[in-house]
Structure 1
Amino acid sequence: MNVLVFSPYGGFTTFLATDLEIIEQHLAAGDQVSAVVCDSDLESCDYNEQHLLQNCLKCIGRRQSGYRQLSPGLEIVRLTDLVRTEDRARIAQLDEQLSKVHELESLMLDNFDVGYAVLSSIITLRRNPDIDINAEALTIGRMARASAFVYCGFLNLLRDQSPDRVYLFNGRMAPMRAALRACQRAEIPVYVSEVGCDERHYSLTENAFPHDIESREKEIQQLWEDSSHTYEQRVKIASDWFESRACPNGDKNRFIKSQQLGELPETWDDSLHNIACFTSSSDEFAAIGKEWENPLFEDQDQGLKWILEQTSSRAGDLHIYVRMHPNLKGVINDETRQLREMSGPHFTIIPPESSISSYTLARAADTVLTFGSSLGIESVYWGTASVLAGSCFYRNLKATYNPQTIDELPGLLTRPLEPKDREPALRYGYYFATFGKRFRYYQPTSSKTGLFNGHCIRAPLLYRLGRSGLKVVGSLKKVDRTCWPGRR
C-alpha cells in the first residue's frame, strides 16, 4: 500500500504523536510511506502565525526528533518542492480576490473553501468568533496564501503519485483543510485523525471532518449497534461517563473543577418554571461550514436576546438562568461582553468563573436550553427535558426537543415538557466513552507530553534556545535544509 501522511506540525504534541503512530503502523506492515512536511515553507500557520524563525526551528526540531524514533523506510517530501510556477501565479491572485470579497466565507479556490478555512484558524487563535476582517487583513492574507500553497502542492502530488490513502490531522484548520479538499478533489481516500475518547486513543474519520455532523451521528449509532459489550455493559459504560463528567474532583471534565456540586444561584426559586441555559464556547465550530450554522438565529447571543424579549410577559412565574461556558473565563470579546450585559427581571447571567454547579443547575431545572452545548444531551441522561436551538452532534438522535422555527421556541420554553427517552443519551455517552483506536507506539504521560517508542519527543537543545540558538543553527535561508539531522 502506498500511504501519504500530511505532517506539517511538529509543535503540537497531539498532532505529531498521532502522525508518528500512523506512520509506524504502516511501516511495520511493510507499506510504502511518505510524509509531507513543512520546513518553514508556510507564510503563516496555526502553530506559528507570524512565521517567527525560532518557532519554526522548534517545530522542525521536534518533528525530526520524532522521526528518528521511527522504523527505517520513511520518505520525506517537502511542501515547497510540490508547488509549481503556475501555482504561485494562482496563489498571488488571491490577494486581488480578497480585496473584492464582502464576506470572507465566499472565498474559494476550486472546491477549497479558503475563506472558511482561514476564518476557522483565526477564530481559534483569537478565541473570538466575531473576526474584524479589516483589522485582521494581514493575517488573513498570509493564512490564505499559505493554505492555497498547501492545496496546490498537495493536488500536484496526488495527481503524480496517486497514493492509496492519505492521513492528516483535524482537517478544520487552514493548511489541514487545504490538504483535505485536495484529496476530495483528486478522489483519493483520506482519513482525518483526531483525539479519541481520551489521550490514549485517536480517531479516524474517512473522507470528512471529525466535526462532520452526519458522519458522527452514524458513528454513534454504529458503535452502539456493533459493540461486543452486552446491553447492560453499554449502559454501565455510558452511565459512568456521564457520572464522571459531573464530578468536579474527577479528570473527565476540567471545566468544572472550580465549581461546587450542589450550589445553585441565590435567587433560585423552586416555585417558578426554571430554565437553565448553557452557552457554547463557539470558536471551534464557528467556521466549520454551513451544517454548523444555527438554523434559527445568527448566533446564540441573538437567540438569547430574542428569548429574553419573548418571555418578558412571564417574568412573574418563569426565570431563565444563563450559564456562560467555563471555557470563556478570561475571554473578552464582543460575544462575552454582550452576554454579561444582558439583564431582565426574569433573567440571570452566571459568569464563567462562578462556582455555581452546572450539573446541579441542569438537574434542578424544569427545562434545559442549549445552542449545542454537551449539557443538552447530558441533561437528558439526568432526566431533564432538553430544548436544542442550534446544530450539534446529537441534534438528530431524538433525545431533545428541536424547534424547526423560532415561533415554536417560546412554547417549548414556557410550558412543562416530558423528558425524552434516555437511550439516545446512553448511545451518545457510550460513544464518547469508547470511540477511537488505542495507541500502540505512543504512550501519553499527560495531555501534552508522552513517549514514542519509549523516547521523549522534544526538539534538540539548540532548536529550543530560540534566538540564542539561531546564532549556532544559522538562518534557514542560509542552511541547506536537505542536510539537517534526521532527514532521510
Structure 2
Amino acid sequence: MKVLFLALPSSLSVQNIATRSELMLNHVKNRDEVFVLKCGGEQPYCYSNFLKNKSICLKCNLLCDSSLDILNIPNKNIFYLNKDISFQDIPKKFRNIKELKEFNIEGINLGFGVASYMISLLREINFDTIEQKDTIYSICKSAVLIYESTLNLLKKIKPDLVYIWNGRFFDSWAALSACKSLGISFRLFESINGFKYNEKKQIIYKYSFIENDLLHSLDPFKRDIFKSWQNKDLNKEIKVEIGKSFFEDKVQRKDMYVFCKDQDLEKLPIGFDFAKKNIVIFNSSIEEYAAFDEWQNSIYLNENEGIEKIVQSLKGNPEIKIYLRVHPHLKNVNSSQIKDLRRIGSLGFENLQIIWPEEKIDSYALLKNCSKILTFGSTMGVEACFWKKTSILVGRAFYEDLNCSYIPKSHEEVIDLIQKDMDPKPQENAVIYGYWANTSGIEYKYFKPEGDLASGTLIGIDIWKNVSLANRLKHKYLVLKDFGFKNIIKIRLNKLKQKFI
C-alpha cells in the first residue's frame, strides 16, 4: 500500500507533527510505502509564517526533518512543492467573499479554503476582499502551488491513501481538492484539544481522523455519537458515569480548555431578579464554521439578527428578562459580530442585558439560575439538558439529533417556546453526547506528551532535541535577528526591573 503524507506549515505545532508521525509510524510498521510532500519555504504565503520570519521557516523545516529522521523515511520518498507553477490564472482581486469562495482552477474549487482561512485570520466573517486583495492574492498563489504540486505527485506515485491536517484552510483544502479530482482516498487528521478518558476513567491524550469527508461535517459526527454509545464492550453504568463526568468536569473547571475558567464561581449579574422568567442566550464564536453552508442558520440571516428579533418580539412581556452571554472566546475581538452586538446593546431594550466576554459573570451560574437556555449551536445547549434545564437550539449542532433541545422551525416558534412552560428534555440524552465527547478519538501509542500536547517524545525521542546543536543554535540566532536584539534585551531588562520593584 502506498501512503502519502502532506507535511505543510499549517501543521507546524509539535502536537500536529507528532500526530502525523504517529499515523506515519502505523503505516511503516504495517510495511506500507510512505511518501511525504513537504514545504521547503517555497510558498508565497505561509499559514504559520505570514510575516516570513526566517527563524520560523527554519524551525518548521527542522521539526519536520527531525520527525522524518526518527521514523527513517528514505530521502527518495520525500518530495517538495514545485517552484515552477504558473500563477497567471489567479484574479488580482475579488469583489466579495462569495466571488472568492467560487475561485477555481480548471473547475476545481480552491476559494473555499482561502475564504475560510481569511475569516479565521481576521476573526471577521464579513471581511473586505478589496481591502485585503494583496493578502488574498498571495494566499491564492500558495493554494494553487499546493494544489498543482499535490496533483502532479499524485499522478506520479499513485498513492492509495493521503493524509492531510484539518482540511479547512487554503493549503489543506487545496491538497484534498487534488485528491478529490483524481478520486484518491484521503484522511483528515487533528490532535484533540485537552484530554479524554479511557474505560477506567484514566486521563489520556488522543487524536482523530475522518476519511473522505470534512472534520467540520455534521453527519459523520452525528453518526459517530450514536455508534459510540452502542459500544457493547462496556456496560451502561460505566458509560453513564463517563458521560456525566464530561459535564461535571466543565462546571468544576477541570476541562483544560473550558472557556469560563477565568470567571468568578457562582457570580450572577447585579440585580438578577429571581422572580422573573430569566432566559439566557449563549452565542457562538462563529468564524470556524462561517464558510460552511450546512452550518448556516435556517431561521435567521445570522445569530445577531436572531438575537435582535427575539429581544424585539419579547420587549412587551415584563415577566421576561433576557441575558446574552457573549462567548468568552470573543474577548478583545473587534469584529463586525461584536460591533453589531454593541449596536443592539445601544438600542435601549429594557428586557436585555448583555454580558461581554471579559466580564467575570459565571456562565454556569446563569445556566443554573435561568429557566431556559437558548443557543445557536454552543455545547451549552446540551449541557443545559444535562443539568435539567429547558434547552432551545436555534441553529445546527452535533447533538441536534439526540433530543436534548427543542428545535424550532420559525421565529414565531422560537418566541412561543420561550414564553410557554415546558419540561426539560431527558437528561440521559445528554449523557450520550458526554460519553462520546469523553471517549472519542484514538490514543497515542508512540507519541508521549509531557504535561500537555505542546511537548513530548516520539518513540522516546524529543523531536526538537533530535535536531543538531548547530541547527538549534542557528535557529536561536535567527530568532534574535527576526525579532531584534534590542527588543529581546528590552523584554529581559523589564522582567529584571519588575523583579526588584
> Which residue of 2 is the match for residue 51 of structure 1?
52
Is the contact made by 1:39 and 1:78 (CA closer than 8 Å) also made in structure 2? no
Q: Of the candidates 310, 326, 332, which is equivalent to residue 328 of structure 2? A: 326
Are 2:155 and 1:153 equivalent residues in the alignment? no
Q: Which whole-Å CA distance do the structure 2 matches of 1:243 and 1:278 have between them?
A: 19
Show the 5 A alignment for 1:374-389: 374-389=379-394
> Which residue of 1 is the match for residue 3 of structure 2?
3
> Which residue of 1 is the match for residue 259 of structure 2?
255
CA 1:318/1:101 → structure 2, altered by over 3 Å: closer, same or farther?
closer
Is the contact made by 1:97 and 1:107 (CA closer than 8 Å) also made in structure 2? no
> Which residue of 1 is the match for residue 462 of structure 2?
456
Q: Which whole-Å CA distance do the structure 1 matches of 2:233 and 2:392 have between them?
A: 33
1:96-146 C-alpha deviation (Å, 9 max, x unpaired): 574698632222335644222112112222222231212211111111121
Q: Secondary structure at the match of 2:300?
A: coil
Are 2:289 and 1:277 equivalent residues in the alignment? no
Bigger shift: residues 61-70 or 437-446: 61-70
Show the 5 A alignment for 1:352-431: 352-431=357-436
Q: Displacement, 1:266?
A: 1.7
1:353-401 C-alpha deviation (Å, 9 max, x unpaired): 2221111211221111111111111111111111111122122332211
CA 1:214/1:330 → structure 2, altered by over 3 Å: closer, same or farther?
same
Is the contact made by 1:201 and 1:439 (CA closer than 8 Å) also made in structure 2? yes
Q: Which whole-Å CA distance do the structure 1 matches of 2:144 and 2:13 have between them?
A: 22
Bigger shift: residues 156-165 or 428-437: 156-165
What letter is aligned with 1:452? Answer: L
Q: Which whole-Å CA distance do the structure 1 matches of 2:274 and 2:413 have between them?
A: 25
Provide structure 1 residue ranges, at least 5 long, that are not aligned to the other structure: 471-488
Q: Which whole-Å CA distance do the structure 1 matches of 2:393 and 2:154 have between them?
A: 41
Are 2:130 and 1:126 equivalent residues in the alignment? no
Q: Displacement, 1:455?
A: 2.5
What letter is aligned with 2:223? Answer: K
1:259-301 C-alpha deviation (Å, 9 max, x unpaired): 22222112322221111111111122222x2111122222211
Bigger shift: residues 184-193 or 418-427: 418-427
Provide structure 2 residue ranges, at least 5 long, that are not aligned to the other structure: 196-204, 483-501
Are 2:316 and 1:304 equivalent residues in the alignment? no
Q: Which whole-Å CA distance do the structure 2 matches of 1:121 and 1:6 have between them?
A: 18
Q: Of the candidates 164, 168, 173, which is equivalent to residue 164 of structure 2? A: 168
> Which residue of 2 is the match for residue 207 of structure 1?
212
Is the contact made by 1:319 and 1:347 (CA closer than 8 Å) also made in structure 2? yes
CA 1:24/1:465 → structure 2, altered by over 3 Å: closer, same or farther?
farther
Show the 5 A alignment for 1:280-299: 280-287=284-291, 289-299=292-302
What letter is aligned with 2:65? Answer: Q
Q: Number of residue pairs matched?
A: 462
Q: Displacement, 1:408?
A: 1.9
CA 1:113/1:366 → structure 2, altered by over 3 Å: closer, same or farther?
farther
Q: Displacement, 1:237?
A: 0.2
Q: Secondary structure at the match of 1:386?
A: strand
Q: Of the candidates 187, 195, 202, which is equivalent to residue 191 of structure 2? A: 195
Are 2:270 and 1:266 equivalent residues in the alignment? yes
What letter is aligned with 1:264? Answer: L
Q: Secondary structure at the match of 2:267?
A: coil
What letter is aligned with 1:317? Answer: E
> Which residue of 1 is the match for residue 201 of structure 2?
none
> Which residue of 1 is the match for residue 233 of structure 2?
228
- CA RMSD, Structure 1 to Structure 2 (Å): 2.2
Q: Secondary structure at the match of 1:465?
A: helix
Q: Secondary structure at the match of 1:283?
A: helix
Q: Secondary structure at the match of 1:319?
A: strand
> Which residue of 1 is the match for residue 63 of structure 2?
62
CA 1:312/1:373 → structure 2, altered by over 3 Å: closer, same or farther?
same
Is the contact made by 2:93 and 2:133 (CA closer than 8 Å) also made in structure 1? no
CA 1:108/1:392 → structure 2, altered by over 3 Å: closer, same or farther?
farther
Q: Secondary structure at the match of 1:68?
A: helix
Q: Which whole-Å CA distance do the structure 1 matches of 2:440 and 2:311 have between them?
A: 38
Q: Secondary structure at the match of 1:449?
A: strand
What letter is aligned with 2:145? Answer: F
Q: Secondary structure at the match of 2:316?
A: helix
Q: TM-score, normalised by structure 1?
A: 0.89
Are 2:489 and 1:466 equivalent residues in the alignment? no
Is the contact made by 2:186 and 2:211 (CA closer than 8 Å) also made in structure 1? yes
CA 1:175/1:279 → structure 2, altered by over 3 Å: closer, same or farther?
same
> Which residue of 2 is the match for residue 473 of structure 1?
none
CA 1:15/1:369 → structure 2, altered by over 3 Å: closer, same or farther?
same
Q: TM-score, normalised by structure 2?
A: 0.87
1:200-225 C-alpha deviation (Å, 9 max, x unpaired): 11001111111110111111111111
> Which residue of 1 is the match for residue 337 of structure 2?
335
What percent identity do the matched residue pairs reach? 29
Q: Displacement, 1:245?
A: 1.1
Q: Displacement, 1:78?
A: 3.1
Q: Secondary structure at the match of 2:297?
A: coil
Bigger shift: residues 50-59 or 386-395: 50-59
What letter is aligned with 1:181? Answer: S
